[in-house]
Amino acid sequence: METALTKVKSEEYGGELIQLVSFNLEKEEYGINVLMVREIIRMLNITRVPNTPHYVEGVINLRGKVIPIINLRKKFDLMENDYDKRTRIMVMEVVGELMGFIVDEVSEVIRISEKEIQPPPPVVSSGIEQECMAGVINQANRLLVLLDLEKMFTADERRLFTNVG
């Protein structure tokens, strides 16, 4: 199944290229389709919202629009970490809704060949939380996990975020 990955025709690379924004969480590197990313901002004051899932930090006001903020460390059951000068909020459109995702650090925009994407290993992809894992990219002695954020949340969770913002 093909997601909304950015494709660029290029004879130089010999085929379809995909542009990804790479970011870090707990020393692991992840990639997300560059078209989903609206902007990358420094940490802001987050207003807490009661009765939300543990991974929802709250909401921010971004130029008059209230958007929910998701802590990806908590969503992926990683150990919590203090925010530092590299911590960023990646504002992305997921299933038609703007959402902010807290990440440890945004690395770079990379171009990869579609052929470099390998399916996630069956052991990893069988977990319900890992349904958002679209593939794995082995590039220059590093592994990058490709995410499909549209599969990260259940229909009930998406409805909740619509009400939060």
Question: Where do the structural domains in the chain lie, given as residue ranges?
Answer: 17-116
Q: What is the reported pTM?
A: 0.81
Note the pLDDT tens digit of each residue in 62-75: 999 999 999 999 98
CA distances from 104 to 22, 30, 90, 99, 119 (A): 11, 11, 10, 17, 25
pLDDT given at position 161: 64
Per the prediction, the chain carries an average pLDDT of: 82
Look at residue 34 and give its three-state secondary structure: helix
What is the sign, positive or negative, of the torsion defined by CA atoms of 68, 41, 144, 17? Answer: positive
The CATH number that domain 17-116 falls under is 2.40.50.180
pLDDT tops 50 at residue 1:
no
